[in-house]
Each structure stands twice: as structure tokens, then as C-alpha cells.
């Protein structure tokens, strides 16, 4: 079958900071990149998932397409948070050569629109990630990144932290049912702080959109806790009156 060649705009791209939560760690999805370094030696580093936009797609569609190609998921929480367009953001010879090798075009300047996305890791398709040399990495152990992607990732994390204080987007990272302890761990990891157990529980249980299920943990050494779920319909109905948990 003849390969379909996409017509791209070589000066406009999207980059996605894809966050996931697993084993009490906030993780980011990164792609391994093979390139030739300044000494002409094959090397590897990591980059954020991203792509040039095609000539007939808008930015949001390009970001959603990138996410789907990496995770197999659709309708993912996706939020635009910044545009990066410094004239020298792509200046290393190795990066310029990599762009030419992968696109067939001499590209010296790219303006990228950055998004952060939240997904439940257990729902993503591992085969998609493996095919694209993508892996989940603890945000506190991120290795060297290509281009200015570390700056983009750090700003994405900052926007995630601010958004989490004002709207209950953390539920996007959790399974359908979870304990209050798991929810607290998630908030502590993202906000990088310790939260008082009693105060946290008191605050979250006031939320009308947090629903206690008639189900408890099984096979645990401690007293089993009830599971809860996030009622998005109730949240959307009362959104105007909700200011988040404000931790």
C-alpha cells in the first residue's frame, strides 16, 4: 500500500505534556528520540509528544490526534496553556539536523502551542506507546529533553497545579472508583506538599459531586475504606458555585 504523505505546516506545531498517576507517582509520557549529536555520534534523549499541524487541521484537533496516536484514547482531558515562539528555541545543530531528517525540510523556526493532558494510565493502550517508543516517567526523574521541552513540561506542571486548586480535574487521573486516601495521595503528589488527613477528608466530603459507593476495599491489612466516585453530571450542574478544594 502506498504511504500517505501528510502536508504539514513546518512552522506551527503542538506539544503535549501528558500526565498520568501510578504507584503514588505523577508521571509524564515521553518519547525516546534517536539523533546524531554535535560530534556526529548516534545518541538518544527524550521529547514530549508532539507534531506539526497539517494544512487543514486546527490546533485542538492536532493535539487530540497526537494523544490518540500515542495512547489509543479519545475524548481525553486536554487544556491549552501556553505558546512558545522564541526565535532561538530551536538552535542546536543536532535539533536542526533531526528536524530535517524527519521532515525532509530545512526548518529553523517553529512556534508551538502547548497542551497538558490527563489520562488514567490503566486505560491507555500499551502497544501504542511501545510502537512510538513512549514510556511513563516520574516527573521528578525526567532525563535530558530535546529542544525546550523541559521548560514546556515544567510550565505544564505549574498549570496543572493551579488548575487542580480551582477545579476537580484530578479525577481524570484516577480509576472510576477510589478511596479518599488515594485521592489525597494524588493531591499531595501533584501539589508537592503534605495535607492534613482530617482537613482533607472534611473538605472533599462536602463536595456534592463526590459519591460514596456501597463498596469497601477487600484484602487489606487495615480497616477497609469505602470507595467513592466522581459524579461529573452533578459537578457540571453546580460548576458555577464550585471553587474546587482550594488546598
- Whether residue 159 is found in the same domain as residue 200: no
Q: How many domains does the chain have?
A: 2
pLDDT per residue as tens, the chain (247 positions): 334 456 889 999 999 999 999 989 999 999 999 999 888 899 999 999 999 999 889 999 999 999 998 888 888 899 999 999 999 999 899 999 999 999 989 999 999 999 999 999 888 878 877 788 899 999 999 999 999 999 999 999 999 999 998 889 999 999 999 999 999 999 999 999 999 999 999 999 988 899 999 998 887 778 889 999 999 888 888 776 655 666 5
**Residue-averaged pLDDT of the chain:** 90
Q: Residue 241 has what pLDDT? A: 60
- Shared-domain flag, residues 93 and 196: no
Domain annotation covers residue 229: yes
Domain-embedded: residue 122 = yes
Note whether residue 1 is domain-resident.
no
Beta-carbon count within 10 A of 103 CB? 12
In a domain, 2, yes or no: no
Residue 169 CA: distances (Å) to CA of 77, 146, 163, 185, 226: 8, 28, 7, 14, 21
Q: What is the three-class DSSP state of 121?
A: helix
User: How far is residue 11's CA from residue 88's CA, in Å, rounded to a whole number?
Assistant: 13
Q: Which of 217, 193, 206, 212 is nearest to 242 (CA)?
A: 206
The per-residue pLDDT for 223 is 83
**Cβ pair 13, 53 in contact under 8 A:** yes
Task: Based on the fold, state whether residues 38 and 122 are members of the same structural domain.
Answer: yes
- Shared domain for 236 and 155, answered yes or no, is no
- Cell match 482537613: residue? 199
Residue 247 falls within a domain, yes or no? no
Question: What secondary structure, in 3-state letters, does 14-31 show?
Answer: EEEEEEEEECCEEEEEEE
Contact 114, 155 (CB under 8 A): yes
C-alpha cell at 60: 485542538
| pLDDT 10s digits, 101-150 | 999 899 999 999 999 999 998 888 788 777 888 999 999 999 999 999 99
Shared-domain flag, residues 68 and 137? yes
Q: Is residue 60 part of a domain?
A: yes
| Same domain, residue pair 127 and 86 | yes
Whichever domain contains 180, its CATH number is: 1.10.10.10
Domain that holds residue 229: 176-241
For residue 232, is it within any domain? yes
Q: Using the CB atoms, write b or e for 19-48: b if 16+ within 10 Å.
A: bbbeeeebbbbbbebebeeeeeeeeebbbb
What residues form DSSP beta bridges with 84?
A: 112
Same domain, 180 and 143: no
Residue 226 has which C-alpha cell? 469505602
Residue 246 falls inside a structural domain: no
* 212 in the same domain as 133: no
Instruction: Say whether both 203 and 97 belong to one domain.
Output: no
Is 100 in the same domain as 81?
yes
Is 213 found in the same domain as 192? Answer: yes
**Do 152 and 48 contact (CB within 8 A), yes or no?**
yes
Q: Tell me the C-alpha distance between 77 and 71, whole Å.
A: 13
Domain identity same for 142 and 216: no
CA–CA gap between residue 108 and residue 95 (Å, rounded):
10
Amino acid at each position: 500500500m502506498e504511504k500517505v504523505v501528510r502536508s504539514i505546516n513546518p512552522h506551527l506545531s503542538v506539544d503535549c505534556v501528558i500526565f498520568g498517576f501510578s504507584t503514588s507517582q505523577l508521571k509524564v509520557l515521553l518519547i525516546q528520540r534517536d539523533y546524531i549529536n554535535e560530534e556526529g555520534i548516534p545518541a538518544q534523549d527524550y521529547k514530549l509528544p508532539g507534531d506539526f499541524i497539517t494544512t487543514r487541521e486546527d490546533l485542538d484537533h492536532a493535539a487530540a490526534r497526537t494523544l490518540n496516536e500515542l495512547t489509543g484514547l479519545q475524548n481525553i482531558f486536554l487544556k491549552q496553556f501556553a505558546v512558545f515562539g522564541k526565535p532561538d528555541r530551536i538552535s542546536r545543530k543536532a535539533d536542526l539536523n533531526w528536524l530535517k531528517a524527519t521532515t525532509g525540510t530545512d526548518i529553523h523556526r517553529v512556534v508551538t502551542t502547548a497542551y497538558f493532558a490527563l489520562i488514567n494510565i490503566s486505560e491507555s493502550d500499551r502497544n501504542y506507546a511501545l510502537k512510538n517508543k513512549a514510556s511513563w516517567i516520574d516527573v521528578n526523574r525526567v532525563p535530558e529533553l530535546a529542544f525546550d521541552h523541559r521548560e514546556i513540561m515544567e510550565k505544564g506542571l505549574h498549570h496543572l497545579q493551579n488548575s487542580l486548586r480551582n477545579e476537580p480535574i484530578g479525577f481524570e487521573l484516577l480509576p472510576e472508583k477510589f478511596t479518599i486516601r488515594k485521592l489525597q495521595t494524588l493531591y499531595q503528589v501533584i501539589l508537592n506538599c503534605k495535607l492534613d488527613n482530617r482537613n482533607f477528608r472534611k473538605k472533599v466530603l462536602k463536595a456534592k459531586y463526590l459519591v460514596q459507593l456501597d463498596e469497601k476495599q477487600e484484602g487489606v491489612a487495615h480497616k477497609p475504606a469505602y470507595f467513592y466516585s466522581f459524579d461529573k453530571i452533578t459537578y457540571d450542574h453546580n460548576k458555577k458555585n464550585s471553587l474546587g478544594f482550594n488546598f
